């Protein structure tokens, strides 16, 4: 199994930037795609970005042009660089395998809180 630990969140003003990190442990050799997800208060969890094993990146419309997902396989780490943050980006951010994120019975880590003030 693969476990993830997220970090890097914080409180920033609108227009500011944060870089989130997600460190994987366990059976990391089997990891292909990794995704970032977020859940805002009172809202359902949504996907933000995915990076495939070959390096292809996909973004939600809300993140496109502002966020960049990347990975360092040697460090078993995936990053999410978030620029020009908006109050609507406020959420708890999680990383997970897309195949797990689509499974209603999958488990999630603690996530990291991102709060953007206006």
- pLDDT, tens digit, 9 for 90 and up, residues 68-108: 999 998 999 999 999 999 999 999 999 999 999 889 888 89
Of 6, 33, 37, nearest in space to 19 by CA? 6
Residue 40: DSSP 8-state:
-
Cα(46)–Cα(60) distance, rounded to whole angstroms? 9
Interval 53-73: pLDDT, tens:
989 999 999 999 999 999 998
Cα(66)–Cα(64) distance, rounded to whole angstroms? 6
Cβ neighbors of 102 (< 8 A, separation 6 or more) are none
Of 106, 104, 105, nearest in space to 95 by CA? 106
């Amino acid at each position: 199994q693969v476990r993830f630990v997220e970090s890097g969140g914080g409180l920033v003003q609108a227009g500011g930037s944060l870089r989130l990190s997600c460190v994987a442990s366990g059976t990391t050799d089997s990891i292909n795609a990794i995704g970032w997800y977020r859940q805002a208060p009172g809202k359902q969890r949504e996907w933000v970005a995915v990076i495939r094993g070959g390096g292809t990146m996909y973004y939600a419309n809300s993140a496109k042009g502002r966020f960049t997902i990347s990975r360092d396989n040697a460090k078993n780490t995936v990053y999410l660089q978030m620029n020009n943050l908006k109050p609507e980006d406020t959420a708890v951010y999680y990383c997970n395998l897309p195949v797990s994120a689509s499974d209603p019975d999958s488990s999630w880590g603690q996530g990291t809180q991102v709060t953007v003030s206006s």
